[in-house]
Amino acid sequence: MSSTVQPLNLCQKTYLLTYESNGLGDSQGDESTLAQKLGTKLTKFLALPDIHAAMEGQWSLAWGPAVFESQPSKTSYADNVMYVAASPDKSVYVVAIAGTNMSSDYDQKTEDLSVNTTKLWTDAFPSLKPYGVPSGINPWPVVSTGTALGVNALLGMKDPATQKSLVDFLRSLSATDSKTLIFGGHSLGGALAPTLALALFNPSGGPFSTGKWGHVYVLPVAGPTPGNQGLSEFFKQVFPPVSLNLPQSYYAWNQNIWNSLDAIPHAWVVDMLKQIPTLYPAIWDGGQVPSNLTNQVNGAVLLSQLGGALPGPYTQLPNIEVPGIFNPFIFVHDYDSFFAQVGFQHVIAYEILFGILTLTSEDTRSSFPRILKRQRGLFLARGGPATAERP
């Protein structure tokens, strides 16, 4: 029986590919073992009839997947994951970057939260030196220490089969003037993808030039803010916003696509962090915001203020804010229910937004915290917005 799945547009295809980079979750093993495991999963996933129909043909793994672990062992978890997928005719390449692995302490404590200190752009990526910043960017661009660590981990990764880095792989491609290259990621990946793309295509010394490709795009989704106003201006200069000219304005390139009810993209802009406790209609137990939530937000504000002291506060990248839909079946009344709603808004809401709800693999879906899976099942069973038609 042929698939009844309708083809996705290129934004949707990119998001589905980047979403599937998160499939390892709580899998344990060294870097090579986990890379092989994810590679097998992705190969099977891309061959599924519904995926074949949605992607308009057989996409394939062109590089990776590669895995980085801060402390590799037989019982360690993936800290960063990246792979490159190629379209059937090899005209489009998608660099898919995973988000935070909720099983990884390194991800949560180091790459996510190391925002109280920053790195000057010119010092952030030693393997790419020497490089600079185009004139006219003010203030001087900086990135959070956590983002710099994540991007350097990605730059150091090698395809287990070929031992090529991502830079080596991109250099090996021919006729790039007729090819499209897209960097994408969700959550932590939504901060790493634009920063990696900018580092590689930095016109003041990066190894590649956008002018030597047909198109180079970035699709960051639900990403926290990686740096200051200078970084935002720098990114916009190299990757100006591009629309797909579809009724859904969020199908676009070079802008962080985020759900207004998702707490994660509120980091790390101070005024946005302060909005987090009031994101949802809530009837709080005891009549007030839980103290642990208040303390966490205050702590996040302090981290942001420390990191933004010089040269300038955290500032969002060019972005598209999409009005969120509150999940009425998650009644917000205490700390746990608040973060259940956060989980829904940060994960399932984007599956709905990008129309991939029925396409995501069970391995990837189950890699997110189990509470999100329970809430997703509850929401679908009760016929909430998750049953809406594909955008």
Between 387 and 257, the more confident residue is 257
Report how far Cα 53 is from the mean position of its chain's Cα atoms. Answer: 24
Per-residue pLDDT of 294-314, as tens digits, reads 999 999 999 999 999 989 999
pLDDT for residue 216 is more than 70: yes
Q: What is the pLDDT of residue 158?
A: 98
pLDDT for residue 374 is more than 50: no
Structural tokens at position 251: 């199908």
Per-residue pLDDT of 182-194, as tens digits, reads 999 999 999 999 9
DSSP letters for 15-82: HHHHHGGG--TT--S-HHHHHHHHHHHHHHHHTSHHHHHHTTS--EEEEEEEEE-SS--TT---SEEE
Taking residue 110's Cβ as centre, other Cβ atoms within 10 Å add up to 16
**What value does the mean pLDDT take over residues 381-386?**
34
pLDDT tier for residue 388 given thresholds of 50, 70 and 90: very low
DSSP letters for 280-336: S----GGGS--HHHHHHHHHHHHHHHHHTTTT--B-PPSEEEEPP---TTS---SHH
Biggest distance spanned by C-alpha atoms of the chain? 64
Q: What is the pLDDT of residue 109?
A: 82
Burial of 127 (0-12, 13-18, 19+ CB in 10 A): exposed
CA distance 49 to 201: 36
Map out the domains of the chain as residue ranges: 10-387
DSSP letters for 146-181: HHHHHHHHHHH---TTT---HHHHHHH---GGG-EE
Q: In what order do the strands lie in the sheet with 319-322?
A: 60-68, 80-86, 92-97, 180-186, 215-221, 256-259, 319-322
> Average pLDDT over the chain, rounded to whole?
92
Tell me the C-alpha to C-alpha distance, in Å, between residue 346 and each of 223, 275, 293. Answer: 10, 16, 17
pLDDT for residue 173 is more than 60: yes
Residue in this structure with the two tokens 């090899």, named with its chain if needed: 90
Percent of the chain past pLDDT 90, that is, above it, reads 86
pLDDT tier for residue 367 given thresholds of 50, 70 and 90: low
Q: What is the pLDDT of residue 111?
A: 86
Residues in the chain: 391
pLDDT for residue 383 is more than 60: no
pLDDT tier for residue 66 given thresholds of 50, 70 and 90: very high
Structural tokens at position 206: 């990066």
- DSSP type of residue 388: S
- pTM, two decimal places: 0.93
CA distance 201 to 165: 16
CA distance 209 to 231: 18
> Would you identify the CATH topology of the domain 10-387?
Rossmann fold (3.40.50)
